[in-house]
Amino acid sequence: MPVVTDLLGDASGATAVFAATNLDDIVVLTVLFVAARSTGRPRPWQIVAGQYLGIAALVTAALVVAAGLLVVPDPWTGLLGLLPVALGVRALLARTDDDTPPAVVGGLLGVAGVTVANGADNIAVYVPVFRSLDPATGLVYLLVFALLVAVWCGAAALLGGHPRVVRLVGRAGHWLVPVVFVAIGLVILVGSGVLGRLADLAR
């Protein structure tokens, strides 16, 4: 029983860490699934695979940093926020007169890139967590993270197919989807403090 209790405790801790650092990912995934339904790009499997690839990259980076093999130049990772901003601006400039939401991200690597950009700040949370875990507990965390990526994708797919969401995006998707990406990028840039660092360098 103590083993089961410990396992449940570790799984609960992993769930809390993942949920706290990936709540905003639901918005991104939902937007991608809505675009997939409307334009066929990216395809649903590309969204899921890209999310797994992006989360895997973030966790791998955190593990490497936690092991002391790499130093992440904080807050320069915030520059990754330029990626969703650029994608959103490009989609706004390329939009047509109809109400079809543009395909802001076209494929697997694009989804992975947005996931990494949106989760760059996650590394700051994951590093101290992984430093404090023994190998067995770390494995539990990795398995729970993998499971929750599927849960996140499933929830976003359901939201992306909800009639109210579909109607909203149908009415305003031609500008709403790109604006969401621009907003996410700006939040990353501002929240990371990289803009202040750049301002200091410019003085």
- Domain count within the chain: 1
* Residue 47 to residue 167: CA distance in whole angstroms: 21
Find all residues with CB under 8 Å of 106, minimum gap 6, and list them: 41, 42
State the CB neighbour count (10 A cutoff) for residue 182.
Answer: 19
pLDDT digit of tens for each residue in the chain (203 aa)? Answer: 565 667 888 888 899 989 888 887 888 888 888 878 877 788 899 999 999 999 999 999 888 888 876 566 666 667 777 877 887 787 777 765 555 556 667 788 889 988 888 877 778 788 888 888 888 888 999 999 999 999 999 999 998 877 777 676 666 656 776 777 788 778 777 776 777 777 777 76
pTM of the model: 0.77
CB 29 within 8 A of CB 47: yes
| Ramachandran sector of residue 193 (left: φ over 0; alpha: ψ -120 to 50; beta: rest) | left
Residue 63 structural domain:
2-202
